[in-house]
Chain A
Amino acid sequence: MRTESTRWLRFWLSGLLTLACLGQAQAAGEYELKAAFLYNFALFTEWPGAPATMKFCVLGHDPFGKAISPLSQKSVHGVTVQVTHIESAAEARSCQVLFIASSEHPNVPAIFEQLRDEPVLTVAESNGFDRKMVMIVMVSANNRVGFDISQSAAQQAGLKLSSQLLKLARQVQ
């Protein structure tokens, strides 16, 4: 059943994916916008000490595609942005910004645990996890992309988020 269901799921998923792909194709701007947001979040964040690198890490299934590559031409606080894809949370420790793709959402608590005191700005999209464990959660609604902030998580990690950023957040916990 499980297999069958998986099949069906896969079928549906593939269909969904197709749809999603279609949707992605239709709303190609959404991830470009989110990529830009990702970069913007970095701009409004202060890391303890001056980080020598500015690694933007994508954990899990990359939803951005090519939309994220323009970031590598930019810099944050004078440091050139590097975009990398990582497989495990352990790798995330050397990252300054970690995007947790939806595929990894179930691992959020673990990731949170693992990076509890690490100055890594964690960003995710959508729902389905404890909001306190991800510093910034981007939410699409009404054709707009908003975000929620977990101030406590950021503070725990020693990151300082700009008040302006906080002001723009839909929710600050």
Chain B
Amino acid sequence: MMIRGWFRSQSLHRKLLLTNLLATALAFLLGLLIISLGVWQEGHQRAELDGLTRARVIADNSAAGLMFQDKDSVAATLDVLRVDGRVLFAAVYDRDGKLFVGLGASQPAIEPPGKLAMTAAEARFSGGYLDVWAPVSIKGESSGMLLIREDMSALYLHIARLVGIVLLSSLISGGLATLLVYRMLQRVISPLSGLSLLMQQVSQKGDYSSRAEVSSRDEVGELAESFNLMLDQIERNNIALSCELNQRRDAEIKLDRLAHYDNVTQLTNRHYFEHRLHTLLREMSTRGERAALMFIDLDNFKDVNDTYGHHIGDQLLRTVGARMAQSLRSEDEVSRLGGDEFAVLLTRISELAQVEVVASKILKLIAQPVFIEGHEIFVGVSIGTVMLPDDTIDFNCALRYADMAMYHAKHLGRNNHQFYRRELSEEQGQRLLLESNLRRALERDEFEVFFQPIHSLAEGRALLGAEALIRWRHPELGLVPPADFIPMAEESGLIVRIGEWVLRTACQEAMRWQGVGASGKYFVAVNLSPCQLADAELIARVKSALSDSGLPPELLELELTESVLADQSEGSVQKLIQTAEMGVQLVLDDFGTGYSSLSYLKHFPITKLKIDRSFVSELPDDLDDRSICEAIVGLSKSLQVTVLAEGIETLEQAELLQRIGCQEAQGFYFNRPMPAEAFRQLLGQDGNG
């Protein structure tokens, strides 16, 4: 197994050479063996035949001598054998087996036992000798024996010499054959090795342009040709592949451009910007550079779009973008993040003053009017800047902080620039937490509607209805007063959804009151926030709330604040008129705290005024408040609307207000806001009472 393993690990060249050598050696050895055996056998046969013939002649010739006891004669006869050096010993024995005449150097102690009766000659090989026994006889009368001992070493020497010569010649011819085979094999193997080497080079370097040399027309040549064909094919495929790759790369570049540029302003887009910011932040940690990220938001862009259309809006964006780019140094970049939002990345900033310079430049340039298709358009921008890495090196934080700074700028009256400060983060953070809590509250039904009864101030203080007030039953904080979350809800726009929920819940609850109690007809008052009024779907929502609950429209009162009415846009007025036409009552809340002129009262179909609690709380002692209350009552009389006072806490206040002509009232003196269940019980008592 070891040998097989060793053989397998050898090169083809060596294998073939070895096989050849082995075969040659085997053939030679076999031949040598056969020849030696042949020579041996033939030598023996010839020696035997020669010995027998000679023995017979000698025996015949010495017969007479033996018979006549003539030793000299016999000796003379035997002496002939001296000529042959191979004869070691010759002897004639008489009939009794006694030596008659012996010839030769060595006298072998040979007894011819039982040979006297022999009639024919015999030859026997033993110990390198050939012993030939022949009867000495005449006319069939045996008179003795002849022995001729011949040395066979000559034959053996001859054979040995032959073997030597054959071995030598086979060694020489074997060597020559091996040399020949070696050369032949080299010729056969070297193209194969060349091919193997080439394949290795091709696979290592990936150079498919190399070709094998076709040096012969045999199988190796064919292999080389096939190999070249294969390389051709691979090379062609490679070229095709690289062409395709190039095309794909071009396409990718185009796509990349599409992906990274904004097609309105031709500035880079949000995708590019984010990538750029990521890279910048990553490199910042190693380079120790400073940079500034600005978020820029156009003020009132929505109005421009609404007023002049998208076409002009887009042109405005283009102009603004160009102006921003104009304000920057060559290494800075401006991207349009979408809508009216832009971002600017200022790199290699050494001090804040540089950022200030850029920001004021932008503010100044953009503040100049833009002329588009004959319109002179004024826009401003709010800029929030976050310093990198001073404020943060986190991507998401950087975006958020810049956003915070920008909103801060907007809050501070627009068209200005603000750096991010840590405090912003805290305020914003609380706000964000509240906002997310609000969203969750809506999903988890954490809101409740409480009802504060509204009574008539006329004799009997009859129950007329209730104001629906939202309460937030927070799982950890307990009941959260509306003042703590309504502003946030308004800011985030959540108020629209919350408001609708309150409206629907209030309507459904109010429907359950009908037909119960003393009058059997009670109204419900629901607060309407400015956001809700701005909502295009307001009318639809109100209608839906009414129809779904079945509450008659005249039993629904919508309370508006003075600030709602301050926005005397056509849309708002229209919505309120439509609502009033449906039969819904409109109530002006917090009356007296606003600062707008009273003229708007004429524009809106208001049916009730609500005197703000601040004028009630100091009654009856504060004469000023009393005068205001009297004035409001007077005004309502002339406008022919109902007057309601809220925040009544004492009997005196109630009696005073009754005295000056106020018709309705609500407050702790009568009832605190209560859960729907409690209000239903109150209604039940009202019926009984």
Q: Mark B58-76, 1 if CB is under 8 A from A, else 0.
A: 0001011101111001000
Tell me, rounded to whole Å, the shortest Cβ–Cβ distance linking B119 to chain A: 16
Hey, which chain B residues are within 8 Å of A77, CB to CB? Answer: 139
Q: What's the tally of chain B residues with a CB closer than 8 Å to chain A? A: 12
Assess the A144–B64 pair: CB atoms within 8 A: no
Report the nearest A residue to B71, measured CB to CB: A144
Q: A44-B64, A162-B64 are in contact. Are A168 and B138 (CB under 8 A)?
A: no
Tell me, rounded to whole Å, the shortest Cβ–Cβ distance linking B621 to chain A: 198
Assess the B63–A164 pair: CB atoms within 8 A: yes
Q: A164-B61, A168-B73 are in contact. Are A40 and B68 (CB under 8 A)?
A: yes
Q: A33-B69, A144-B69, A145-B69 are in contact. Are A167 and B64 (CB under 8 A)?
A: yes
- A76 on the interface (CB 8 Å rule)? yes
- A110 on the interface (CB 8 Å rule)? no
Q: A164-B61, A168-B73 are in contact. Are A37 and B141 (CB under 8 A)?
A: no
Taken together as a complex, chains A and B put the C-alpha atoms of A44 and B69 apart, in Å, by 15
- A17 on the interface (CB 8 Å rule)? no
Taken together as a complex, chains A and B put the C-alpha atoms of A29 and B65 apart, in Å, by 18
- A165 on the interface (CB 8 Å rule)? yes
Q: B64 is contacted by which of A74, A145, A165 (Cβ under 8 Å)?
A: A165
Q: A43 is contacted by which of B61, B65, B70, B138 (Cβ under 8 Å)?
A: B138
Hey, which chain A residues are within 8 Å of B67, CB to CB? Answer: 36, 40, 43
Tell me, rounded to whole Å, the shortest Cβ–Cβ distance linking B57 to chain A: 12
Hey, which chain B residues are within 8 Å of A36, CB to CB? Answer: 67
Assess the B139–A43 pair: CB atoms within 8 A: yes
Interface centre among B67, B73, B138 (most CB of A within 10 A): B67
Residues 140-173 (chain A) with a chain B CB within 8 angstroms: 144-145, 147, 162, 164-165, 167-168
Tell me, rounded to whole Å, the shortest Cβ–Cβ distance linking A125 to chain B: 14
Hey, which chain B residues are within 8 Å of A43, CB to CB? Answer: 67, 138-139, 141
Hey, which chain A residues are within 8 Å of B68, CB to CB? Answer: 37, 40, 145, 147, 168
Taken together as a complex, chains A and B put the C-alpha atoms of A147 and B64 apart, in Å, by 13
Report the nearest A residue to B137, measured CB to CB: A43
Tell me, rounded to whole Å, the shortest Cβ–Cβ distance linking B544 to chain A: 166
Hey, which chain B residues are within 8 Å of A144, CB to CB? Answer: 69
Hey, which chain B residues are within 8 Å of A76, CB to CB? Answer: 139
Report the nearest A residue to B143, measured CB to CB: A40
Taken together as a complex, chains A and B put the C-alpha atoms of A30 and B67 apart, in Å, by 14
Hey, which chain B residues are within 8 Å of A44, CB to CB? Answer: 64, 138
Report the nearest B residue to A138, measured CB to CB: B68
Hey, which chain A residues are within 8 Å of B138, CB to CB? Answer: 43-44
Hey, which chain A residues are within 8 Å of B73, CB to CB? Answer: 167-168
Taken together as a complex, chains A and B put the C-alpha atoms of A73 and B70 apart, in Å, by 25
Q: Mark B638-672, 1 if CB is under 8 A from A, else 0.
A: 00000000000000000000000000000000000
Taken together as a complex, chains A and B put the C-alpha atoms of A33 and B70 apart, in Å, by 12
Taken together as a complex, chains A and B put the C-alpha atoms of A165 and B67 apart, in Å, by 10
Hey, which chain B residues are within 8 Å of A74, CB to CB? Answer: 141
Taken together as a complex, chains A and B put the C-alpha atoms of A76 and B67 apart, in Å, by 14
Assess the B65–A168 pair: CB atoms within 8 A: yes
Residues 24-64 (chain B) with a chain A CB within 8 angstroms: 61, 63-64
Report the nearest A residue to B67, measured CB to CB: A40
Hey, which chain A residues are within 8 Å of B63, CB to CB? Answer: 164
Interface centre among A44, A76, A162, A164 (most CB of B within 10 A): A164
Tell me, rounded to whole Å, the shortest Cβ–Cβ distance linking A72 to chain B: 15
Interface centre among A33, A40, A77, A145 (most CB of B within 10 A): A40
Residues 449-496 (chain B) with a chain A CB within 8 angstroms: none
Taken together as a complex, chains A and B put the C-alpha atoms of A144 and B61 apart, in Å, by 21
Report the nearest B residue to A170, measured CB to CB: B70
Assess the B70–A168 pair: CB atoms within 8 A: yes
Hey, which chain B residues are within 8 Å of A33, CB to CB? Answer: 69
Q: A164 is contacted by which of B64, B69, B141 (Cβ under 8 Å)?
A: B64
Residues 30-51 (chain A) with a chain B CB within 8 angstroms: 33, 36-37, 40, 43-44
Tell me, rounded to whole Å, the shortest Cβ–Cβ distance linking A20 to chain B: 23
Hey, which chain B residues are within 8 Å of A147, CB to CB? Answer: 68
Hey, which chain A residues are within 8 Å of B61, CB to CB? Answer: 164
Assess the B64–A168 pair: CB atoms within 8 A: yes
Tell me, rounded to whole Å, the shortest Cβ–Cβ distance linking B393 to chain A: 141
Report the nearest A residue to B72, measured CB to CB: A168
Hey, which chain B residues are within 8 Å of A164, CB to CB? Answer: 61, 63-65
Interface centre among A145, A147, A168 (most CB of B within 10 A): A168
Hey, which chain A residues are within 8 Å of B70, CB to CB? Answer: 168
Q: Mark B291-325, 1 if CB is under 8 A from A, else 0.
A: 00000000000000000000000000000000000
Hey, which chain B residues are within 8 Å of A37, CB to CB? Answer: 68
Tell me, rounded to whole Å, the shortest Cβ–Cβ distance linking B110 to chain A: 26
Taken together as a complex, chains A and B put the C-alpha atoms of A116 and B327 apart, in Å, by 179
Taken together as a complex, chains A and B put the C-alpha atoms of A66 and B191 apart, in Å, by 105
Hey, which chain B residues are within 8 Å of A162, CB to CB? Answer: 64
Tell me, rounded to whole Å, the shortest Cβ–Cβ distance linking A164 to chain B: 4
Taken together as a complex, chains A and B put the C-alpha atoms of A76 and B141 apart, in Å, by 9
Taken together as a complex, chains A and B put the C-alpha atoms of A32 and B227 apart, in Å, by 108
Hey, which chain A residues are within 8 Å of B65, CB to CB? Answer: 164, 168
Residues 156-180 (chain B) with a chain A CB within 8 angstroms: none
7 pairs from A and B in contact (CB 8 Å cutoff)? A145-B68, A145-B69, A164-B61, A164-B63, A164-B65, A168-B70, A168-B73
Interface positions of A (Cβ within 8 A of B): 33, 36-37, 40, 43-44, 74, 76-77, 144-145, 147, 162, 164-165, 167-168
Interface positions of B (Cβ within 8 A of A): 61, 63-65, 67-70, 73, 138-139, 141
By Cβ-Cβ distance, the 10 closest A-B pairs, closest first, are: A164-B64, A40-B67, A168-B68, A168-B70, A43-B139, A43-B138, A168-B64, A168-B73, A165-B64, A40-B68
Further contacts, 15 of them, CB under 8 A, given A36-B67, A165-B64, A168-B73: A33-B69, A40-B67, A40-B68, A43-B67, A43-B141, A44-B64, A44-B138, A74-B141, A77-B139, A145-B68, A162-B64, A164-B61, A164-B63, A168-B65, A168-B68
